[in-house]
Amino acid sequence: MREISTWIEIDASPDYVWQVLTDLDQYPRWNPFIVEAFGDLRAGSRLKLRMVPVHGKELTFEPEVLTADPCRELRWLNRLLLPGLFDSEHRFALTPLPGRRTRLEHSARFSGLFVWCTREAITNSGTAFARLNVALKQRAERMVRLQANR
């Protein structure tokens, strides 16, 4: 099993961060990693995600949503063909911080028979996660500024 874990602190409340994270229609406007996303964010539903890795070709996945707990956690599981070949569990966890701020933890756990042959792609995912985190931070903080100027 391999795991990648990243985090970032955002000057926006979990409400704003959750709003950006779950507005799938807007992903093409700001998300450099998951450039297209469709589906319902509720446990048991399937998403369709088009991802652009840092080094590599564009990929489309159809993961199952495991958890969609508003302002707290979004988690999905993608399996390649059959369980145990190559499974990836992707997680976003939001923790409120003092001053209407949020700590976003963005991680993925990879398991299965083919993990060994995807080592480089998994390692590069950390860079893609960090880029997504920064873009999400910028968008959420921009929303806060726009709201304050109203």
| pLDDT tens sequence across 47-89 | 999 999 877 789 999 999 999 999 999 999 999 877 777 899 9
**Could you tell me which of 88, 111, 100 has the C-alpha nearest to residue 147?**
100
pLDDT of residue 121: 66
Residues 6+ away with beta carbon under 8 Å from 88: 63, 77, 78, 108, 109, 110
Q: Report pLDDT for 117.
A: 66
Going by C-alpha positions, the residue among 55, 62, 19 that lies closest to residue 37 is: 62
Residues 6+ apart with CB under 8 A from 123: 4
Q: Is the pLDDT of residue 92 over 90?
A: yes
Cβ neighbors of 16 (< 8 A, separation 6 or more) are: 102, 140, 143, 144
Q: What's the pLDDT at 125?
A: 85
pLDDT at position 118: 65
**Cβ atoms 65, 46 nearer than 8 A:** yes
- pLDDT, one tens digit per residue, over 106-132 is 999 998 877 766 666 667 788 999 999
> In this structure, what are the phi and psi dihedrals at residue 120, rounded to the nearest 5 degrees?
-65, -45
**What domains does the chain contain, in order, with CATH numbers?**
2-149 (3.30.530.20)
- Does the pLDDT of residue 43 top 70, yes or no? yes
